[in-house]
Structure 1
Amino acid sequence: MLTIPTRRRRAATILTLAAALALAAPMAEARPGGSSGGMGSRGSRTYAPPSATTTAPTTAAPIQRSQTQPSMGNPGMSPAAAQRPRFGGGFMAGLLGAGLLGALLGGGFFGGLGGIASFIGLLLQVGLVVLLVAFAVRWFRRRQGVPAAAGHARSELGANGIGGDRMGGNGLGAGNTGMGRGPAPVQPVQTRPVQIGPGDFQSFEIALNGVQEAYGREDVQALRNLATPEMAGYFIEELRANEAKGVVNRISDVKLLQGDLSEAWGEGNAEYATVAMRYAIKDVTLDRRTNQVVETGEPEAVELWTFVRERGGRWILSAIQQGR
């Protein structure tokens, strides 16, 4: 049986390792979008990972900030998965965490029991978890208005045929009115291939330099001309946050080292292109008052930039995702 000091040493060791891992986390990059992981919109592919390329052979960071709502048109996530409360996530994790902490300190939920008493304590723990789960399920059902008898009601509604009703309905998907009928399914967005040529790649490189330099100058108007309103809004938020912290991000010497196309497609009148780019950059964060260096970013970056345009129009930035 572990002594009290041994238990405390084990808990202290776990906490020390956790702190060391936190301190070892990579430094956040101050360049535009560098600390977001992924932000912006890629049309119907916003929540789908871009195709790997030679420049970015691993999966890019997923989009975490976007004004594009998840839907059936976005294959990475469904609306139900995005909005449904996940019972068993935080709730069960809390129970598990409590049990784990108790184990580190020498016991479960009812630490201090030994021998047969420990076995009885285990049974009590299992019973408590079962009761809590049953209570939570009933509570969620009542909150969502799904009584236990709802299944029987649906069975009666289907007695006159699949999806039919007693008012002379036309079956599954016949309409959006009446009981037992859901909304019409969302049709996937139709896409088409888009050809990308040397002139397009030149535009992407010019945009890379333009966005970085405008961000370093804190030139809001230039950012609005080079990016979608959504992306310009994110950049402005970052610049205001820097101002509030009393720092300024200076960017210079941006040079594209390698780049290749990940995906190019069209949706309606819009055309999209996601490009993987590895580029050199001088990224320094300075104190606004003293002009002293507060933070220095990595000299190179690998990112996937998505551009959008109307047919025959000018490419502008619509999303940034960090390479891994």
Structure 2
Amino acid sequence: MKFTQRARGIVQAIAVTLALALPVVAAVSPADARVGGGFGSGSRGTRTFAPPPSTSTAPGGAQPFNRTFTQPGSPGIGAPASAGGGFFNRPGRGLLGGLAAGFLGAGLLGMLFGGGMFGGLGGLSSIFGLILQIGLIFIVVRLAMSWWQRRHETAAAYAGPAAAPGAPTGFRAAATGFGMGSGSAPLEILPADYEAFERLLGDIQAAWSNEDVAKLHTMATPEMVSYFTKDLEANRARNVVNKVSGTKLLQGDLAEAWREGDTDFASVAMRFSLIDKTVDRASGRLVEGSEQPSEVTEVWTFLRERGGNWELSAIQQT
């Protein structure tokens, strides 16, 4: 009898830990503290919900956005979407975090009010019940996310015409680490544009490290700056600062380029190296990251108003 009670107590402790930890794990990627925080953030005009074509740099394509102002079916760059506050409705959490919080939260409340995590099951049955519930949650979430992605992906409508046979692919520009793409994009991207993309990659990382929001406003859209500002405020609340240095483009290619009215868009896949570390704001002690360079592959989208300069409008993970 004592063994059964002890086993039940262990199971309940594990359940409480999972109930509290899983939603947080779903919402945060602690290894990514650089610009964008490892999220997919921003907007790609009317193509926000259509994934950019894969390239030799990012053959697996890009993941959907976790944070965007654009609403499905809305034209162009959208306005901020209204959302309720609170832990269970945080931007960037996505469907996984919400369902995990709901299911496991219900189990946690059951234990707190004496009903048990699984309605009275005890001992070894509780362990199997816990495993079964986590498995069912995973299956339901995967099915729901697949349905949601299929509903909004309209890649065929935006992919553009296929490259003509024999069209040059992977041609490397002499001045930069970018390839020149397939040659099938409806908007011509010149070597000077690739140089601007590479320069923005380094300058935005530097402004982020210096927490220079005013500088970020000159290189990114208001939507992207709003995400950067929120992430910087979160770092200040933790009394840490993220320092990124040594950013170097290793490889890049054009995924697609197009025009919407007076606005040009270009999505480019970039593989780059950088030193990404988070230090204590007061002492400088290393909290996260490393002094050693690491490699990252992301798809960055830039926009340019007619006669203006390129600005960062989106970052997507690969």
The answer to whether TM tops 0.5 is yes
Tell me which residue corresponds to 1:255.
Answer: 248
Distance 2:213 2:232 in 1: 9
Q: What percentage of residue pairs aligned between the two structures are identical?
A: 47
Give the 3 Å change call, closer, same or farther, for CA 266–20 of structure 1 in structure 2: same
Once the two structures are TM-superposed, the CA of residue 312 in structure 1 deviates from its matched residue by: 3.5
- Where does residue 47 of structure 1 map in the other structure? 49
More off after superposition, 295-304 vs 306-315: 295-304
Among 223, 226, 234, which residue is 2:219 paired with?
Answer: 226
In 1, Cα distance between the equivalents of 2:207 and 2:304?
Answer: 20
Q: What is the match of residue 31 of structure 1?
A: 34
Distance 1:17 1:288, change over 3 A: closer
| d(CA) in 2 for partners of 1:316, 1:235 | 14
Instruction: Return the alpha-carbon distance in structure 2 between the equivalents of residues 202 and 72 of structure 1.
Output: 32
1:201-244 superposed Cα distances (whole Å, 9 cap, x missing partner): 11100110110011111122211111111111211222222122
After superposition, residues 137-216 of structure 1 pair within 5 angstroms as 193-216=186-209
Contact 2:55-2:61 at 8 Å conserved across structures: no
Q: Deviations over 1:232-273 (max 9, x none)?
A: 121122222212211111111110000001111111111100
Q: In structure 1, how many angstroms separate the alpha carbons of the residues matched to 2:208 and 2:19?
A: 35
How far is the alpha carbon of 1:11 from its aligned partner? Answer: 8.4
Q: What is the alpha-carbon root mean square deviation over aligned residues?
A: 4.0
Unpaired runs of at least 5, structure 1: 80-85, 113-187
Counterpart for residue 64 of structure 2: 62
CA separation of 1:68 and 1:8: change in aligned 2, threshold 3 A: same
Which of 249, 266, 288 is 1:295 aligned to?
Answer: 288
Q: Paired residue for 2:260?
A: 267
Q: What letter is aligned with 1:34? A: G
How many aligned positions are there? 228
**Which moves more between the two structures, 279-288 or 294-303?**
294-303
The residue number in structure 2 matching 1:242 is 235
Please identify the structure whose Cα radius of gyration is greater. 1
Measure the CA separation in 1 of the matches of 2:219 and 2:103: 45
Aligned-partner residue type, residue 316 of structure 1: E
With over 3 angstroms needed to count, the CA separation of the structure-2 counterparts of 1:9 and 1:213, relative to structure 1, is closer
Deviations 1:132-188 (A, max 9, x none): xxxxxxxxxxxxxxxxxxxxxxxxxxxxxxxxxxxxxxxxxxxxxxxxxxxxxxxx9
Q: Give the C-alpha shift of residue 46 in structure 1.
A: 1.1
Give the equivalent residue in structure 2 for 1:133: none
- Structure 1 stretches (4+) deviating beyond 3 angstroms? 3-23, 105-108
CA contact (8 A) 1:7 1:106 kept: no
Note closer, same or farther for the CA distance 1:247–1:5 as it changes in structure 2 (3 Å cut).
Answer: closer
Indicate if the aligned counterparts of 2:271 and 2:297 stay in contact, CA closer than 8 A: yes
TM-score by length of 1: 0.58
Structure 2: 5+ residue runs without aligned partners?
Answer: 82-94, 122-156, 161-184
Distance 1:55 1:292, change over 3 A: same
Residue 14 of structure 1 deviates from its aligned partner by 8.7
Q: Distance in 2 between matches of 1:285 and 1:31?
A: 9
Distance 2:17 2:237 in 1: 33
Closer, same or farther: CA 246–106 of 1 in aligned 2, 3 Å: closer
1:83-103 deviation line (CA, Å, top 9, x unaligned)? xxx9xx969x859x87xx99x
Deviation for aligned residue 1:61: 2.3
